[in-house]
Amino acid sequence: MTSSTLLEALAKYRASLPEKARFYVAGCSGEPLSIVDAFRAAPELAAGLTFLGIWIPGVNQTDWARLHPHARAESIFVSPALRPSFDAAMTRFLPLSYSQSTQWLSTTPIDGGVVMISPPDESGMVSLGVSADFSTLVIAREQIPLMGVINHQLRPPINGPKIPLERFSLTAEIDHDLVQVGEATLPETFAQIGAHIADLCDPGDTLQFGLGNVQQAVLKALTSHQNLRIHAGMVSN
């Protein structure tokens, strides 16, 4: 079922949940920024909610627990964006690894949540775009009613997981930019590091990247290399 506006859909969906609901929100590039705007336009919809998800420092900037004085949140990171609500005892820190986080999302009580999805294909299947990690765990729990935000700027990657549109009890459509990670201004030393690493790489090599700024310098130095494979927890432009 599709409502005419995102705010109307969110209000209808919120009314279907318990007063004190545990509410999953996707992170990384799957963070539904339009939902943040909707909650800010009608903050009473966030009252009583405990938001939870895997929100990445430096990428996801929403302090969910501060959407309403009676909202709370649970997070495996305490990023600068979440520090105000953490200091106010509104966000609970869970010291979990990524592997432990999968078990947590697979078992912790969840009453509902919002997931951003692509427009359905001709078979009625939707994609999670390039943020297909933790949301699949919540989607697999069929007893949890979920709201799907269909973003016309979300493109399905090749071989990514597909989900039936009917999995979502309520949907709304938007046309909104995805979360962007801006390019950092780095000291010249980083360019030197990138050049040294590029000298060690041959076309066809496989590279693994973690979080940080060195990757930006390394990738800039690898523009002439071909057929590289990248293993990473997150990929951005």
The yes-or-no verdict on residue 2 having pLDDT over 70 is no
Phi, psi for 155 (deg, rounded to 5): -110, 135
pLDDT of residue 20: 98
Arithmetic mean of pLDDT over the chain: 92
Structural domain spans, the chain: 6-174, 188-232
Number of other residues whose CB lies within 10 A of the CB of residue 185 = 7
pLDDT of residue 235: 63
pLDDT of residue 132: 86
pLDDT of residue 182: 72
Average pLDDT over residues 7-18: 97
Closest CA to 132 of 122, 140, 124: 140
Taking the model in full, what pTM does it have?
0.86
The string of pLDDT tens digits covering residues 34-69 is 999 999 999 999 999 999 999 998 889 999 999 999
**Rounded Cα gap, residues 41 and 30, in angstroms:** 21
The yes-or-no verdict on residue 236 having pLDDT over 70 is no
Query: With pLDDT > 90 as the criterion, what percentage of the chain qualifies?
Result: 76
The yes-or-no verdict on residue 82 having pLDDT over 80 is yes
The string of pLDDT tens digits covering residues 166-182 is 999 999 999 988 887 77
Pairing of strands 22-25, 146-151: unpaired
**Do 106 and 141 form a contact (C-beta atoms < 8 A)?**
yes
Query: What CATH number does domain 6-174 carry, 1.10.238.10, 3.40.1080.10, 3.40.50.300, 3.50.50.60?
Result: 3.40.1080.10
Average pLDDT over residues 100-124: 97
SS3 readout for the chain:
CECCCHHHHHHHHHHCCCCCCEEEECCHHHCCHHHHHHHHHCHHHHCCCEEEECCCCCCCCCCHHHHCCCCEEEECCCCCCCHHHHHCCCEEECCCCHHHHHHHHHHCCCCEEEEEECCCCCCCEEECCCCCCCHHHHHCCCCCCEEEEEECCCCCCCCCCEEEHHHCCEEEEECCCCCCCCCCCCCHHHHHHHHHHHHCCCCCCEEEECCCCHHHHHHHHCCCCCCCEEEECCCCC
pLDDT of residue 178: 86
pLDDT of residue 212: 75
Higher pLDDT: 223 or 100? It is: 100
Question: Domain 188-232 belongs to what topology?
Answer: Transcription Regulator spoIIAA (3.30.750)
Phi, psi for 46 (deg, rounded to 5): -90, -10
**Rounded Cα gap, residues 94 and 39, in angstroms:** 24
**Rounded Cα gap, residues 142 and 119, in angstroms:** 21
**Rounded Cα gap, residues 73 and 195, in angstroms:** 42
Residue 4 confidence class, pLDDT cut points 50, 70, 90: low
pLDDT of residue 237: 54
**Rounded Cα gap, residues 223 and 234, in angstroms:** 19
Residue 232 confidence class, pLDDT cut points 50, 70, 90: confident
Average pLDDT over residues 157-161: 88
pLDDT of residue 164: 98
Residue 15 confidence class, pLDDT cut points 50, 70, 90: very high
Query: With pLDDT > 70 as the criterion, what percentage of the chain qualifies?
Result: 97
